[in-house]
Amino acid sequence: MRTIAGLRWWYLFLFAAGLALLASFYFDASAQAWIAQHRSANMKNFMGRVSQFGDWPAHVMLGLTLLAFAYWRRSQRWMRVFATMILACALAGGAARVIKISTGRTRPSVQTEAGWNGPRLDSRYNAFPSGHTAASTAFFAALALASWRIGLAFLVVPLLIAFSRMYVGAHNLSDVVGAALIGFVMAYAVVRWIPQTIRNPKSEIRN
């Protein structure tokens, strides 16, 4: 019964994810138009810095720092949680990289050869999905899935990073939505196959 219920939730998630992705493609042009109308030099500089520090190296460095702190505190549970966050981030970033090279979607800032151009190594044609968003979503979604009371508030970070990637003209709405879905799936997959103690809120009291 539990397996059947789990499958139903997965089907519901996949259905909702598919609708969200289709809707994001539909609103790509509207989202870009809205950003263009509300773009300012100061805001673009700020979003550029957010985008710069929102890539996977910053997330991995943060994860390693937290991992070292948990080791110093001798908390095996949080060592596993932080290691899981790093792993989910790496897997999501790698998956996004493979997909974006394969699809060759043009970035919004590129005026020529717009659309899907097939396998391309040129970064101008690596729009879908957003690697920044996928890595950040996986990193913080893994934390939220391991301990929602702590990690839920941090999900605002990948949202901000996703918006920054759109604001600087690097991605469309559908690029960041697709990346967020990849990040969540990777986070769930990693957290799902780690020891149950990581997902047990009661263990937080002991550690």
In whole angstroms, give the CA distance from residue 183 to residue 161: 13
Reported as a pLDDT band with limits 50, 70 and 90, residue 9 is confident
pLDDT digits (tens, 9 = 90+) for 91-143: 999 999 999 999 999 998 887 667 888 888 888 899 999 999 999 999 999 99
Q: pTM of the entire structure?
A: 0.88
Find out whether 39 and 168 touch, Cβ atoms under 8 Å: no
DSSP 62-81: HHHHHHHHHHHTT-HHHHHH
- Domain spans of the chain? 2-206
